[in-house]
């Protein structure tokens, strides 16, 4: 599969999953603000690694367990909405890039405040 088509497929999966995440009834998933930051699918479309960022969640392990338990339903919804030869198996990972970016912004802000005082 060409990389352009694979990237479009990744974008389609990301868009569809972000829509379906709102419909999950599992309370472990609905505790915070959830967003899908990126999706990477293997060339044969058998597996899709989905990076998820969740704010306001205390326990990431429980959040991942909730996503894993809902992955069958999410996969079924993907298969119904996307016209793919194979519906990929979903593998979820926590993405800490938003938290890391916020941490860097706080460091820069404190550095600017301390340099203004001098």
Give the model's confidence band at 11: pLDDT under 50 very low, under 70 low, under 90 confident, else very high: very high
Q: How high is the pLDDT of residue 54? A: 81
List Cβ neighbours of 99 (8 Å cut-off, separation of 6 or more). 53
Domains and CATH numbers, the chain: 3-117 (3.30.300.20)
Task: Look at residues 59, 73, 65, 62 and name the one whose alpha carbon lies nearest to residue 24.
Answer: 73
C-alpha Rg value of the chain to the nearest Å: 18
CB of 111 closer than 8 Å to CB of 54: no
Give the model's confidence band at 118: pLDDT under 50 very low, under 70 low, under 90 confident, else very high: low
pLDDT average, residue stretch 57-70:
85
DSSP state of 52: E
pTM of the model: 0.79
Q: Calculate what percentage of the chain has a pLDDT beyond 70.
A: 95
List pLDDT tens digits, range 75-101. Answer: 999 999 998 888 999 999 998 887 788
Helix axis angle, 60-81 relative to 3-20, nearest 10°?
110
Q: Which of helix, strand or coil describes residue 37? A: strand
């Amino acid at each position: 599969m060409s990389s352009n088509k694979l990237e479009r497929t990744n974008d389609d999966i990301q868009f569809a999953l972000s829509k379906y995440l709102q419909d999950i009834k599992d309370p472990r998933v609905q505790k915070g603000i959830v967003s899908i930051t990126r999706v990477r699918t293997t060339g044969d479309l058998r597996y899709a690694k989905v990076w998820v960022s969740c704010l306001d969640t205390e326990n990431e392990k429980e959040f991942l367990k909730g996503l894993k338990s809902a992955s069958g339903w999410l996969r079924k919804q993907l298969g119904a909405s996307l016209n793919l030869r194979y519906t990929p198996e979903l593998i979820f990972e926590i993405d800490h890039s938003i938290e890391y970016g916020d941490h860097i912004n706080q460091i820069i802000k404190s550095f600017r405040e301390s340099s203004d005082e001098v």
